[in-house]
Homo-oligomer: A and B are copies of this chain.
Amino acid sequence: MCPPSCLHALYGSNGRRGFLRQGVTAAAAAALGTQAVPARAAPAPAQPRSFSDVVDLTHPLFEGFPTYGGDKWFSMEPMFKFAKDGLNINRWTLVEHTGTHMDAPLHFSADGHSVADLPIGDLVVPLAVIDISRRAQDDPDASLTPDDVKTWEAAHGPLPDGCCVVMNSGWYKLLNSPKFTGSDGAGNNHTPGFHGETAHMLLGERNAKGIGVDTLSLDTGMQTRGGAFPVHYAWLGSGRWGVEGLTNLDQLPPRGATLVLAGPKVRGGTGGPSRVIALV
């Protein structure tokens, strides 16, 4: 598989209004055997966006929030208590990739952007929600495929420029079920995610800033075996971001909402628990 440094060169980095460059797109398409689409000549002027409702796509975080390996990745201890001290303050210890959280390019690259480096304009983007929940209900290893993208586009038009593509597998409703992590007790996790080919399709033939899932991993659980993580390496390695553990996806239209990926702005952070909001 193309290593991250190769991917970064292949697809280019995704900076502020960093639309794909034509040459890079063509090279990527040629390498992948896919058809190149004309790159946009220049970023369009910002179009006003409007909304009249707000949907919270964030699970509450707590000690014991599920993790693939079963480890406790968030803990909280009181530092001051109101009854004794007149105010409440807690101390937290956490691993960056717990709860509803973002993945920065640095998570799966040697020197990609940290959460603090991503331009704010790249974190407030049009949202496309692709529902694979019916298929996933019977198959926890289901993945969002290039055909799913094409089917969505046939119904709703081309993916919006600079969007975030979110998979709704229905998994967000299973937080309190063993199915949420999908552990089979033999070191494997059976959870839906993006297919590796979909990541390459979006990189080479579309213009998306981010991808998101309502499971714990951008990759299907089975694609993470042995550290493979083809979607993580391809997508984050190209300089783009991901978001995992989304909820309330049934409250969103397939097209038309705006995603606010409000991740923590920690220098050197590879990700972190985030507040993810849809403006509808």
Contact = CB atoms under 8 A, between A and B. Distances in A.
Interface of A: 46-56, 58-62, 74, 76, 79, 82-83, 86-97, 99-100, 106-110, 116, 120-121, 123-124, 227, 229, 232, 260, 262-275, 277, 279
A239 to B, nearest CB: 14
Given A52-B46, A277-B260, A266 B124 contact: no
Given A48-B50, A60-B265, A266-B273, 13 more contacts: A46-B53, A48-B51, A62-B266, A83-B110, A86-B108, A89-B271, A91-B93, A92-B96, A99-B265, A100-B265, A120-B277, A262-B262, A264-B264
A274 B61 CA distance: 14
A269 to B, nearest CB: 7
Contact of A96 (B55, B89, B124, B263): B89
Question: What 3 A-B pairs have minimum CB-CB distances, sorted nearest first?
Answer: A262-B262, A262-B275, A50-B50
Identical subunits present: 2
B274 A275 contact: yes
A64 to B, nearest CB: 10
A54 B17 CA distance: 13
A76 B264 contact: no
Contacts of A59: 265
A89 B60 contact: no
Contacts of A121: 54
Contacts of A270: 87-90
A55 B229 contact: no
Contacts of A109: 82, 88
A89 B97 contact: yes
Contacts of A271: 89
B62 A89 contact: no
Contacts of A93: 91-93
A233 B49 CA distance: 37
A49 B46 contact: no
Contact of A61 (B83, B91, B260, B267): B267
Contacts of A52: 46-49
